[in-house]
Amino acid sequence: MSAPAATQLLDPHSARALVDSVEAFLFDCDGVIWKGDKLIDGVPETLDLLRSKGKKLVFVTNNSTKSRRQYAAKFHSLGISVSEDEIFSSSFAAAMYLKVKEFPPEKKVYVIGMEGIVKELEQAGFTAIGGPEDAEKRAEWKSNTLFEHDKSVGAVVVGLDPYVNYHKLQYATLCVRENPGCLFIATNQDAVGHMTDLQEWPGAGCMVAALRGSTEREPIVVGKPSTFMMDFLLQKFNISTSKMCMVGDRLDTDILFGQSSGCKTLLVLSGVTTETLLHSPSNQIKPDYYTTQVSDFIGFLGS
């Protein structure tokens, strides 16, 4: 391991050393690539530069409401060319978890969540039910009437769902409790998130907790901070975590996540973390490197 003992300000020398030593850069998006709906300066050129040096780029998001295709469209709308293959959303992670575990394609997957999960499951060859289709359904307590559920559901995937309702919760609860071996997969467990620019809203952690409450079971988490993504990249591209660099703007999520999975870590100051906070005695989380923003690479590696 050639990682420095303390946090190092990125400079031409360390930037070259970092780029030479890693094969993949994993980017958190908000605060790194964009802020809200605004691209951060110099991002497209930086990504082109890293690609030209043969680096694999992975854009990591716990957002499960979109599929990779829909997420790529967001990148394009902001003026960045990113391929679906470079996106690792928690919706894709759920589908890949089932793939890696050789989930039988004849079994079904019940979804509490949005279209993103359904699309990724279908693209991976699985049959998804529930999700947006069940948004308007009601569950009624009727005497002598059984609330029926599909016994061939072998997995429940729960993500952020602004249309969560009692029908979906009962359906998922019955699958998890009554279908033998049924998996309970959470895209992520973020308590809240900036679904709008002005405030935070309940995140996937809210819906996942609801199903934990009714089933008294713990989910398999596939998004951050689970290290499923790293295991997947290792299997698929044969890149070990010591050859990955996690780039993020949050110490207690991105950087901690990168460190705990054995990646190199780079903090950018273009998001929520200030240099003062990074160096304050109360902060115990020290990234390997830090810099103002990702486009600093252009100057450091230039010409």
Residues comprising the binding site for substrate?
224
Out of 107, 108, 212, 224, which residue is the one contacting a second copy (CB under 8 A)? Answer: 212
Q: How far apart are CA 218 and CA 183, in angstroms?
A: 10
* CB nearer a second copy, residue 49 or residue 169: 169
Distances (CA, A) of 38 to 1, 31, 41, 74: 37, 10, 9, 11
Q: How far apart are CA 214 and CA 59, in angstroms?
A: 34
Q: Residue 20, interface with a second copy (CB under 8 A)?
A: no
The answer to whether 20 is a known catalytic residue is no
- For 12, other C-beta atoms within 10 Å of its C-beta total 12
Out of 7, 21, 214, 242, which residue is the one contacting a second copy (CB under 8 A)? Answer: 214
* CB nearer a second copy, residue 98 or residue 164: 164
Q: Residue 229, interface with a second copy (CB under 8 A)?
A: no
**Considering the complex, what minimum distance in angstroms separates the CB of residue 168 from a second copy?**
10
Interacting residues with a second copy between 92 and 131 (CB under 8 A)? none
Q: 11, 30, 150, 231: which is the annotated catalytic residue?
A: 30
Instruction: Pull the structure tokens for residue 134.
Output: 């069940």
Q: Residue 161, interface with a second copy (CB under 8 A)?
A: yes
**H-assigned helices in the chain:** 12-21, 43-52, 68-77, 90-100, 115-123, 166-178, 204-215, 228-237, 256-260, 275-279, 296-301
Q: 28, 134, 161, 254: which is the annotated catalytic residue?
A: 28
Residues 6+ apart with CB under 8 A from 120: 67, 68, 89, 91, 92, 94, 95
**Which DSSP state fits 253?**
I
**Considering the complex, what minimum distance in angstroms separates the CB of residue 213 from a second copy?**
3
Q: Residue 174, interface with a second copy (CB under 8 A)?
A: yes
Q: Residue 79, interface with a second copy (CB under 8 A)?
A: no
Q: How far apart are CA 33 and CA 28, in angstroms?
A: 8
| Residue written as token pair 């060859």 | 125
The answer to whether 161 is a known catalytic residue is no
Out of 38, 102, 146, 280, which residue is the one contacting a second copy (CB under 8 A)? Answer: 146
Q: Residue 268, interface with a second copy (CB under 8 A)?
A: no
- Determine contact, residues 78/86, Cβ cutoff 8 Å: no
Binding segment for a second copy among 10-18, 73-81, 105-113, 164-172 (CB under 8 A)?
164-172
* CB nearer a second copy, residue 110 or residue 126: 110
* CB nearer a second copy, residue 2 or residue 142: 142
Q: How far apart are CA 55 and CA 263, in angstroms?
A: 15
Out of 143, 238, 280, 282, which residue is the one contacting a second copy (CB under 8 A)? Answer: 143
Q: Residue 208, interface with a second copy (CB under 8 A)?
A: yes
- Determine contact, residues 9/290, Cβ cutoff 8 Å: yes
Q: Residue 173, interface with a second copy (CB under 8 A)?
A: yes
Radius of gyration over every alpha carbon of the chain, rounded to an integer in angstroms: 21
CA trace torsion 99, 103, 109, 114 (10° rounding) = -10
Q: Residue 136, interface with a second copy (CB under 8 A)?
A: no
Binding segment for a second copy among 17-25, 96-104, 208-216, 256-264 (CB under 8 A)?
208-216
Give the residue numbers marked as catalytic. Answer: 28, 30
| Contacting residues toward a second copy, per CB under 8 A | 37, 139-147, 161-166, 169-170, 173-174, 177, 189, 191-192, 195-199, 201-203, 205-216
